[in-house]
Amino acid sequence: MNLAIRYYTKSKKGNTEKIAKHIEEKINVVALDVNHPLEEEVDTLLLVNAMYAAKIDKEIKQFLKNNKDKIKNLININSSASGASTYKNVEKVCDECNIPISDKEFHTVASWIFINKGRPNEEDFERLDIFLKELNLGE
Ligand SMILES: Cc1cc2nc3c(=O)[nH]c(=O)nc-3n(C[C@H](O)[C@H](O)[C@H](O)COP(=O)(O)O)c2cc1C
């Protein structure tokens, strides 16, 4: 299966990057930021993103628009401080771009300013490993 990982991280904590790099290590696929277009069609894109001001960032939207013809299936992997998922926001852009999105997603609570210190933590990453395993992507 042809896989790619793309992420967009905004805060200095780099939570999304940490999650993306964890996946990189687990499934042995390089995680690149959204400034890197897809070079070829992928069976599955793991899109790692986060919630900002109750939305996804425009960089994520732009990446999906620019690469829509190369994504056969998208899996949403995301974090937020509140516990709210970005799934609906990502799904909306996918619908506009005709990108199939899996109903399976991974979400974790993450740190922001003074809240959720240390998240994602070891337990969050263990849950992520289980999620990857269930997709048959992990070891
Ligand atoms: C500018 C900004 C706005 C945010 N707005 C929200 C928000 O509306 N709701 C929420 O649950 N979390 C919000 N967060 C928290 C982020 O979703 C969370 O910290 C995420 O892990 C950030 O990922 P990053 O470190 O890769 O940028 C916000 C964070 C930042 C930096």
Residue 139's pLDDT is 53
Q: What is the 3-state secondary structure (H, E, C) of the chain?
A: CCEEEEECCCCCCCHHHHHHHHHHHHHCCCEEECCCCCCCCECEEEEEEECECCECCHHHHHHHHHHHHHECCEEEEEEECCCCCCHHHHHHHHHHHCCCEEEEEEEEECCECCECCCCCCHHHHHHHHHHHHHCCCCC
Q: What predicted TM-score, i.e. pTM, was given to this entire model?
A: 0.98
For ligand 1, say whether the CB of 18 is within 6 Å of any of its atoms. Answer: no
- Is 23 within the bounds of a domain? yes
* pLDDT band for position 137 (cuts 50, 70, 90): confident
Q: What is the CATH number of the domain that holds 19?
A: 3.40.50.360
Q: What is the pLDDT of residues 100-116, one digit of tens each?
A: 999 999 999 999 999 99
Q: Structurally, how many domains does the chain consist of?
A: 1
- Please work out whether the CB of residue 10 comes within 6 Å of at least one atom of ligand 1: yes
Residue 54 inside a domain? The answer is yes
Give percent of the chain above pLDDT 70: 99
Q: What is the reported pLDDT for 138?
A: 55
Containing domain of residue 46, as a range? Answer: 3-134
